[in-house]
Amino acid sequence: MWRTSQVSLSGGRQLLDDQADAAHDARTGNMTLPVTVALQAYPGLACDDEEGVRAAVLGSGAASACLRLAAEAFDDARDGAARAGADVLADLADVWSRRCAWRLATLAALAPPAWTR
């Protein structure tokens, strides 16, 4: 069970990285989840327009989706590790879960919900 927790923790961290590095990833052709969603939502988006990519990732909802998925992965990792008695892994997942919650709250404060736009 602790191995599943490791995979969940790694997956959550990758989602956070993809969300944070979306502009770089788009410019270098790395089609991550947030880049793909942004390009689908804004078909005319130029991948070398870093500011445009950042805005599209936010406007498309990809940023908040990545953070919500990462939060679920961290919570799964924490809970699974705790059940397996892997306390250090559970504590690490909890730290990442709290960081993710903070980033979600920060993002929510910056952007109105999609239905208000």
Q: What is the DSSP string of 62-73?
A: HHHHHHHHHHHH
* pLDDT for 117 beyond 50: no
Quick: pLDDT tens for 60-95. Answer: 999 999 999 999 999 999 999 999 999 999 999 999
Give the C-alpha separation, 36 to 43, whole Å.
10
pTM of the model: 0.87
Give the C-alpha separation, 90 to 75, whole Å.
9
Give the C-alpha separation, 2 to 77, whole Å.
8
pLDDT of 108 reads 84
Give the C-alpha separation, 70 to 51, whole Å.
23
* pLDDT band per the 50, 70, 90 thresholds, residue 1: low
Please report, rounded to a whole number, the percentage of residues in the chain having pLDDT higher than 70.
92
Query: Could you give the maximum distance between any two Cα atoms of the chain, in Å?
Result: 50
Which residue in this structure is represented by tokens 């590095």? 21
